[in-house]
């Protein structure tokens, strides 16, 4: 049994506003309202959080490693200001043409996370905003969650239904704060039913 409570988060569209032209500098990293506070809530409830993100802009030469590091330093700075933290950031630098095993929808990053933390992924929630994220969660054995704050915000009900049909068991939330509320309420119910709550 694993005691570590871990959530895997996508980055663009989940923590920060998605940009078609990639986040190339710290000033372009704009948090989605409530997302950083949501991570802080998770942390204070005993959850560890890691990011798994495709960053094809590196492979396309649009952003270099020093810029990626600067963006993530800014992300962590803003998170810390809200009392939150990320344990680690895992990213795939490849383009789809590389056909690597780490770019979502492949499960490579999640398997790396499992290896790093010595855990099984069966009960690990993974939060994304695309079908690619849901398929990666499914392939890795994670619990798939979709938020409608990023790219999924633009899809209609029919497309959403078709997407969810490909990933049975996936849950949908308005945004990261809504996911966190769901997770913490589920935790509370589980603790209550097991008699783990103190009187």
| Closest by CA position to 144, among listed 117, 165, 118 | 165
Please tell us whether the domain made up of 6-192 is placed in CATH 1.20.1290.10. Answer: no
* Average pLDDT, integer, range 145-171: 95
pLDDT band at 199 (very low <50, low <70, confident <90, very high): very low
- Say what the pLDDT of residue 189 is: 86
pTM, full prediction = 0.93
Detail the DSSP E strand segments found in 101-142.
125-128
Alpha-carbon Rg for the chain, nearest whole angstrom, is: 16
145, β-bridge pairs: 127, 171
- The structural domains of the chain, with segments of one domain joined by +, span 6-192
SS3 of 180, please?
A: helix
DSSP H or E segment with residue 8 = strand 6-9
Q: How far is the C-alpha of 40 from the C-alpha of 177, rounded, in Å?
A: 10
Q: How far is the C-alpha of 156 from the C-alpha of 175, rounded, in Å?
A: 16
pLDDT band at 124 (very low <50, low <70, confident <90, very high): very high
């Amino acid at each position: 049994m694993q005691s570590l409570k871990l959530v895997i988060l996508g980055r663009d569209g989940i923590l920060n506003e998605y940009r078609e032209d990639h986040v190339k500098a710290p000033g372009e990293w704009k948090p989605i309202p409530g997302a950083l506070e949501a991570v802080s809530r998770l942390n204070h409830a005993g959850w560890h959080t890691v990011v798994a993100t495709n960053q094809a802009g590196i492979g396309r030469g649009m952003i270099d490693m020093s810029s990626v590091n600067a963006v993530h330093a800014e992300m962590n700075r803003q998170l810390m200001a809200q009392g939150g933290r990320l344990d680690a950031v895992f990213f795939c630098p490849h383009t789809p043409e590389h056909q690597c095993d780490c770019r979502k929808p492949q499960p490579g990053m999640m398997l790396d996370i499992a290896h790093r933390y010595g855990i099984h992924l069966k009960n690990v929630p993974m939060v994304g905003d695309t079908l690619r994220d849901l398929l990666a969660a499914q392939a890795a054995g994670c619990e798939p969650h979709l938020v409608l704050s990023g790219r999924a915000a633009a899809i209609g009900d029919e497309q959403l239904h078709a997407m969810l049909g490909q990933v049975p068991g996936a849950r949908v939330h308005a945004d990261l704060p809504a996911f966190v509320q769901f997770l913490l309420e589920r935790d509370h119910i589980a603790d209550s039913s097991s008699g783990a709550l103190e009187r």
